[in-house]
Amino acid sequence: MLKELKNFLLRGNVVDLAVAVIIGAAFGAIITSLVDDIITPLILNPLLEAAQVENIAALTWNGIRYGSFISAILNFLIIGTSLFFVVKAAEKAQGLTKQEEEKEEEPAGPTELEVLQDIKALLEKQ
């Protein structure tokens, strides 16, 4: 039973998943810090001040907290945009783009010389 537990816990998929979860949590913390500590103070706070809104989440109307909803939408858009640019920067840092990956996957066809040599060999057989 202990051997089965060891095999289960050390199976490739479980370890890969654990690593992905840990890296994902750390990456999430980076994005949260980017949004909370950099983007919100630079972009969102000046916009709220210009609209004379101190706390967007506190906006209500007849008991409906529409400010919370607007805040959630803004957070989603800011986090999504930040994540997009961070992933693009990471891809660029790795030097990988989809086009390069696709080029690597394409099998190299025969060269013109090889085709001509094959034709010559077929003609010589006749």
Q: Give one DSSP letter per residue of 38-57, joined into a string.
A: IIIIIIIHHHHHHTT-S-GG
pLDDT band for position 4 (cuts 50, 70, 90)? confident
HSE of 4 in the Cβ direction (CA atoms, 13 Å)? 1
Q: How many domains does the chain have?
A: 1
Domain presence at residue 17? yes
Q: Is the dihedral of CA 55, 60, 63, 69 positive or negative?
A: negative
Instruction: Please tell me the predicted confidence (pLDDT) of residue 6.
Output: 78
Model pTM score? 0.53
Domain presence at residue 118? no
Q: What is the pLDDT of residues 82-114, one digit of tens each?
A: 888 888 888 888 776 566 666 666 677 788 888
Average pLDDT over residues 45-63: 78
Domain presence at residue 90? yes
Of residues 3 and 98, more confidence is placed in: 3
Domain presence at residue 106? no
Domain presence at residue 21? yes
Domain presence at residue 122? no
Question: CA-to-CA distance for 107 and 62, rounded, in angstroms?
Answer: 65
Q: Is the dihedral of CA 20, 23, 27, 32 positive or negative?
A: positive
Domain extent for 55: 2-99
Domain presence at residue 115? no
Instruction: Please tell me the predicted confidence (pLDDT) of residue 34.
Output: 87
Instruction: Please tell me the predicted confidence (pLDDT) of residue 20.
Output: 86
